[in-house]
């Protein structure tokens, strides 16, 4: 902890709450993250929001290459000092949401990161929906968000359904807010996300329809699907009722009760063209 404080003082760093800058200082948690990532000598790792490099240094000891993307230019300078000597770390300054996998030169890679809370859901979706998604993600994220991502029917939500369509998420363990400097207001969780192939029953052209129907269904989560889909898709209730029953779904069900396969069946049964 003292080494972190010294680096922060040297570079005049005041952690930004807006950028979610909370540095991991618990070595037990760090070891668990590294263990779950199951790093091999030929692995390429993308780290997002490395801060001053607590995780970066451990990744560099085990992986072939680490690409660390940091948004804060001042933090980048501190990171360079903290990991000096690690020849296999490439540091990029910029907003990860504006990068593409091709921009980073990534082919087969893993993502290991303590990511800022404010971009959690957007970032995970971006990585999973990329033409070349990571083979594994091990992330430290807000506890409540991790629980939402890993929800199961009958307590599903839009975020969980969207991510579970692409991957299998699992909470590895919870992390106390005392494991960070400065201490955040909330606890965190280590989550492991393993991408999987897209369902063979859906074509690429069906994806827009799938997510359009999904978002429409969850737009009014307390409403019965018959009502929310009829209103959101601008179709009469009898048409929606028939499509739901054809999909094996009761018109009175609410979106939180549906599994991924239910939404896939509904997508195939809905005879409409979906525009971007």
Average pLDDT, the chain: 92
Q: What is the sign, positive or negative, of the torsion defined by CA atoms of 169, 174, 180, 183? A: positive
pLDDT of 142? 96
CB-count burial class (<10 Å; 0-12, 13-18, 19+) for 171: middle
pLDDT of 220? 92
Q: In this model, does residue 276 exceed pLDDT 50?
A: no
Q: What is the pLDDT of residues 13-64, one digit of tens each?
A: 777 777 778 889 999 999 999 999 999 999 999 999 999 899 999 999 999 9
Q: Looking at residues 263-276, what average pLDDT do you find? A: 78
Under DSSP, the state recorded for 199 is: P
What three-state secondary structure class fits 217? helix
Closest to 175 measured CA to CA, from 187, 193, 186: 187
Q: In this model, does residue 274 exceed pLDDT 60?
A: no
CB 6 within 8 A of CB 73: no
Q: What is the pLDDT of residues 181-205, one digit of tens each?
A: 889 999 999 999 999 999 888 888 8
Q: For the chain, list the domains and their CATH numbers.
A: 2-195 (3.40.50.150), 204-269 (1.10.8.100)
CB atoms within 10 A of CB 267: 22
């Amino acid at each position: 902890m003292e080494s972190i404080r010294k680096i922060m003082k040297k570079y005049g760093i005041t952690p930004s709450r807006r950028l979610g800058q909370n540095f991991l200082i618990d070595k037990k948690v760090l070891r668990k993250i590294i263990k779950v990532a199951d790093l091999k000598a030929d692995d390429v790792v993308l780290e997002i929001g490395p801060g001053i490099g607590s995780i970066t240094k451990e990744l560099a000891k085990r992986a072939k290459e680490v690409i660390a993307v940091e948004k804060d230019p001042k933090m980048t300078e501190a990171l360079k000092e903290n990991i000096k000597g690690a020849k296999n770390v490439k540091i990029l300054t910029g907003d990860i949401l504006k990068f593409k996998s091709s921009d980073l030169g990534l082919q087969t890679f893993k993502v290991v990161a303590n990511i800022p809370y404010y971009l959690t859901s957007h970032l995970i979706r971006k990585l999973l929906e990329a033409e070349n998604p990571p083979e594994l993600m091990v992330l430290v994220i807000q506890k409540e968000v991790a629980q939402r991502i890993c929800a199961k029917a009958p307590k599903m939500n839009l975020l969980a359904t969207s991510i579970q369509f692409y991957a299998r998420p699992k909470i590895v363990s919870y992390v106390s807010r005392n494991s960070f400097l400065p201490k955040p207001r909330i606890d965190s969780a280590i989550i492991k996300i393993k991408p999987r192939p897209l369902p063979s029953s859906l074509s690429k052209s069906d994806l827009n329809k799938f997510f359009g129907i999904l978002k429409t269904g969850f737009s009014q989560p307390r409403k019965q699907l018959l009502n929310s889909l009829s209103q959101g898709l601008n179709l009469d209730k009898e048409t929606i009722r028939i499509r739901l029953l054809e999909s094996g779904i009761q018109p009175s069900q609410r979106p939180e009760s549906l599994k991924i396969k239910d939404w896939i069946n509904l997508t195939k049964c809905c005879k409409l063209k979906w525009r971007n």
